[in-house]
Amino acid sequence: MIKGAEREVLELHMLTSLARSQRALSRIIESVADQVEASEALAGKVLENMEIISTYQRVLIRKITGFQPRKTTSSRTPAPPWLHTGQPGLLRPRSVV
Q: How many residues does the chain have?
A: 97
**Cα 59–chain centre separation:** 13
- pLDDT at site 80: 78
Distance, in Å, from the CA atom of 24 to the CA atom of 50, rounded to the nearest integer, reads: 12
pTM, two decimals, is: 0.52
pLDDT digit string, tens, across residues 62-85: 887 777 766 667 777 877 777 666
Positions in the chain short of pLDDT 50: none
DSSP the chain: ---HHHHHHHHHHHHHHHHHHHHHHHHHHHHHHHHHHH-HHHHHHHHHHHHHHHHHHHHHHHHHH---PPPP---SSPPPPP--TTSTTTSSPPPP-
64 contact partners, CB below 8 Å, separation of at least 6: 11, 14, 15
